[in-house]
Amino acid sequence: MMSIRRQLLLALLSVSTLATLVGALATYRTAREEASALLDYQLRQLALSFRDQARHGTLRHEYGGADDVEEFAVQIWAADGTRIYLSHPRQELPHQVSLGYATVDSGHGQWRVFGLQQAGQVIQVAQPMHLRDRLALAAALRIVAPFLLLLPVLGVLLWLVIGRGLRPLVDVARAVSARNAIALDPLPARQVPVEVMPLVVALNDLLLRLRRALEQQRDFVADAAHELRTPLAALTLQVQLAERAADGAARAEAFADLKGGLQRATHSVQQLLTLARLEPGASEPASQTVDLRQLAAQVIADHLPLAEARRIDLGASPQQQPCIVSGDPDALRILLANLVSNALRYTPAGGRVDVVTGSADAAPFVEVCDSGEGIPPAERERVFDRFYRRAPAGEAGSGLGLAIVRSIAERHRARVLLEQADLGGLRARVEFPPPLPA
């Protein structure tokens, strides 16, 4: 499992180590330059001291001891090019005669030399370069070593500091784990770091939507139980009446009433199941291209037997151009079927129901107009509530049809408008958003 603390610790330690190494390299180069300048000065002073000895005739042919072999080497040439003095005969010294500072290669390593000329003699003082490099490295190590030794201590401190910095995330996790289906209170946003605030805001928004969904679910279950109680009680009573029927005619009438009650209960259950599938959190089907004109023709064909039984003229207005929307074909079919079913239910015999499709300002729409009694403006919003039935309505229903219509419309980013129809009844219009450009 990925650990933010471990990743931060490794990243910070890597950066610290890299910075220390870069600093060590810079320190080594600086120390080498400073040591080179100091040792160059010593070479010059040593050459000047030999010049003074040669001037006063006190030059002694003494060879340095083994301890001095790696320090300095001196050689002096006469005017005729003969070497008259060599401080370390066993040392492989450069044979080039040069004045001033120079870095030469003797074949066994590089040397830093300084030469000067005095009364025809050339005095040359040399020092091996590896000695200078060793002195510079030792100086750099003395400076960088404390920082390298402090890296483990820095790692422990970083571990503690990162843990303290991540503590708000732990607090948020504990607060979330304390929530349940009963207690969905928002997470406290006080004293929350700026970096954690977007997470807290997102979680609070999720908790709010979850609480609303659970409340809607509880309300739905309570309303469904209340609405089903009455038809189930009626069915029980009708069964008892059928059992007590004295003759065949009474028994046939009781069974007819029982059949009607079963049909109404079945319709209510089907509407409840449809509404449950449209609740928040239900799976979203893949969006498809739907022609509202063809959809209207299919729904009209399905409802023609009911329209003929009620002697209602059910048809569609002529529309030549396709009316295309993007959505779930089955859900849109349920939407239009509910509108047509409601219109047929509340339109008196001999009336008329028209289904119209088209587009206005590039926005597709479908509408169902009837010649019924319509809905007063004061009740046009309330009829979208679940299980709401208009008091004067003589038709039995579940009160879920328009609630299902609005739920499907919202899932398709459409809106439902209830207005006065030219036929005298209600016009239920569903307006869809304009299609996106290809």
- Per residue in 264-278, pLDDT tens? 677 666 666 666 666
What is the pLDDT, as a whole number, of residue 369? 92
Phi, psi at residue 392, to the nearest 5°? -75, -10
- Residues of the chain with pLDDT > 90, as a percent, come to 3
For residue 392, what pLDDT band results from cuts at 50, 70 and 90? very low
What architecture does CATH give domain 288-431?
A: 2-Layer Sandwich (3.30)
Higher pLDDT, 77 or 316: 316
- Name the region of 340 (left: φ>0; alpha: ψ -120 to 50; beta: rest): alpha
Backbone angles phi, psi at 360, to 5 degrees: -130, 120
Give the pLDDT score at 62.
46
The reported pLDDT for the residue numbered 228 is 63
Per-residue pLDDT for 63 more than 50? no
> Average pLDDT for residues 175-189, to the nearest whole number?
79
Q: Which residues contact 57 (CB under 8 A, 6 or more apart)?
A: none
Who contacts 168 (Cβ-Cβ below 8 Å, separation ≥6)? 192, 193, 196
> 393 pLDDT exceeds 60?
no
The whole-number average pLDDT for the span 170-188 is: 80
> CA 413 to CA 417: how far, in whole Å?
13
Q: Do the Cβ atoms of 342 and 353 come closer than 8 Å?
A: no
Strand partners of residue 365: 358, 431
For residues 248-262, give the mean pLDDT: 76
Alpha-carbon gap, residue 340 to 337, rounded angstroms: 5
- What is the chain's mean pLDDT, rounded? 77
Q: What is the dotted CATH code of the domain comprising 4-58+68-159?
A: 3.30.450
Q: CA–CA separation, 77 vs 97, rounded Å?
A: 8
Residue of 69 and 55 predicted with greater confidence = 55
pLDDT at 278: 61
Q: Are 101 and 113 in contact (CB under 8 A)?
A: yes
Paired tokens of 290:
């739907």
Lowest mean pLDDT among 149-153, 337-341, 367-371: 149-153
Tens digits of residue pLDDT in 134-159: 877 787 778 778 877 887 888 888 88
Strands 352-360 and 313-316: parallel
